[in-house]
Amino acid sequence: IQGQEARGVAVVINAMVPLANMFKYVDNLRSMSQGRAAYTMQFDHYEPVPTAVAQEVQKKYA
């Protein structure tokens, strides 16, 4: 989490999250907020894949 700020009755949270962790996030967010929360996502940068993830991908597609 990079930070958060209040905007009226809402709270905006800025964070860096791997794209793989964002799948199904909107479903979880809406479920937790009774459908009231929303989010936006913006690409920031690439990073090397963790070794364990790279090995899993190599095993699956080798």
pLDDT, tens digit (0-9, with 9 covering 90-100), for 39-62: 999 999 999 999 999 999 999 998
CA distance 41 to 19: 9
Domain ranges within the chain, ordered by starting residue: 3-61
CATH of domain 3-61: 3.30.70.240
Quote the pTM value: 0.67
pLDDT in tens, 22-40: 999 999 999 999 999 999 9
39: closest CA among 59, 17, 56, 54?
A: 17
